[in-house]
Chains A and B, each alone.
Chain A
Amino acid sequence: MLFDEKEMMELCEKYGIPVVENDGTVLFEEEMTEDFLISEIMNEPYVSYDDNINISSKKYSLNIPLIGGLNSRNEMIDNTSEIKYCSVAKDKYYNNCTSTIDRKSKNAIAA
């Protein structure tokens, strides 16, 4: 676990950062994204993608553009790696219901 409230308060005091109640207030614009590990939503061990990744899960059924440049074009993401994140801009994509899994990646691995 990374978060320690006492440590956080000490840092805020050191830098004069005000502290507020945790009531869901958005602190900065980039915070309006929701992060999740690819492994949390994908069943495929490897997925390939261009600029967008098409995924399907119980929670999300989306066409998500990858933020942060996890990998270069046409390469595989190893879904078993814990450091791979997707970011989704809140309210921007949740209603977008294209949902296909790229089966090419599974076939390529099988081959």
Chain B
Amino acid sequence: MKKKSIKEESSCSRREFIKIGGAVAAGLQVGAVAGAGLAAGKDPSTHTGWQHLGDNTQFVDRTKLVREGPAYEIVGETLRPARQESAFGRQGLIMRDMWQYREMIQSFNAGEERQQGMGNRQSVTERETAPEVTGGVRPPGEASDFPPVEAFTEPMLSYYKARPDLYELDKVRIEEIMPKKRQDHKNYGEYYTLINAWSDSWSTHERISEPPEESDYKIGPRQRIGDPKPFKSPAHASRLIKKVAHHFGATMVGITTIEPDWCYNYDLRGSENRETYEVPKHWKYVIAFGVPHQWEQVNSNPNSGTSFDAYSRSSIAARRLETFIKSLGYPARRHSPMDGYDLIAVPYLVKSGLGEQGRHGIVITPETGSNFRAAFVTTNLEMEIDQPIDFGVKEFCEHCQICAEICPSGSISKDKSNEGMNTRGYRHWEINQTSCYNFWMQSMGGMGCRLCLIACPYSRKSNWVHSLARKLDTNDPSGLVDNGLTMMQKKLFDAPEAQEYLPPPDGRFANYRQPPEWLQVKNYLDIEVSDPTIGE
């Protein structure tokens, strides 16, 4: 009886031990899972990084995503882009006309002084434009003002008459934003010393100095390309080109054919002709590829980030690929951020199946979302081409609007869909390039913004949780995952409000996330800085 009791007691205590042990094991398992989660989140191999040959590059099998039909729906007369349509392109035209306007005002001032006996010497320009020569009437305003619409010459005169809204935005940039920017640099420039150095280091470049008929057939300044080496088939050519482009630093690669509408209608690089040109006959194929930004700094946009890291890397990849193709005897020309483009990036990325155009006007890929920069090589090497893809971006962007809500300049449309939008005959999301550019000019650090690029839910890291979300989203026709993910991003992930990214006093030069410690001046440099992000 006593023995039995001891046995029962022993059995009971063993049972209790197993039960408590199991509870402890469950606790430990929760701890282990939390630790594993931390490690998975921190893992640098999940950065959507450069020249990473692992499973976060080209991991999407696009054959399942191919859709029928053309890259864009044509909704009007299709046109090639003119220089003045681009906020960057018309900058040169604005400067030219502003310069003439200033000269005219100064010469009128000098003429008035001469008439008042305060001077009698004329400069060469004054001899041509002085009021006593031209009989002109003194224009209103000061030499430092943005000229009135009538003072512009063609094509800006007609353009501004047709787009008075853009005239106003350009005027604000020249008269208010630029002087303010200079003042901000004076006050806070040193706070951004490291990001500026980092940005500048990526922005070295060289220019193409000969027209396509020359430069595309040369390796270096003198060596002509040899006879073309035949490939076994276009599919073999395509496979090899994608493989080497990948090794040259391209994360994603797609191939398509040239579309004249999507080649700029001015400033063919290397050509003396600055206006319209025929698209060269040997530009038959376009190899499109993308390289993501360095992960830590891209999150600290708009004031502590830069475009130049990915610009530089995609440009270097383009140079390497151009040379590779030329070495096989085929003409080739690179189109890249550091060497300039003769074609528009976005539609070729869409047509080559790298991604879909989002609400923010740029392309979203299945691999890195919007976090990438594109470069291209045009050639006549015959290759198998890729088709546009559909992985649900159109539907996602229609209800997401995160990029539009966070955009400090309000440049991104908040319309329900892009119906009715018509860009030179093609339907796609449009942004206000000029107000976007105006914000670029206000931001500090490596200039630009990139907020829409990084706030896009598709641009998150490539770790298991975001990869799973992307996979579920791609394969869910009901839209439930779309809605769930958008809600989660808005409710779970903090980000400053759009206004906060503006310069003081309207904003506080906020960043989407804190810059990495190696881009914070206080950690490395012994200089006095004024931190604008903490407010007055």
Real binding pair: no
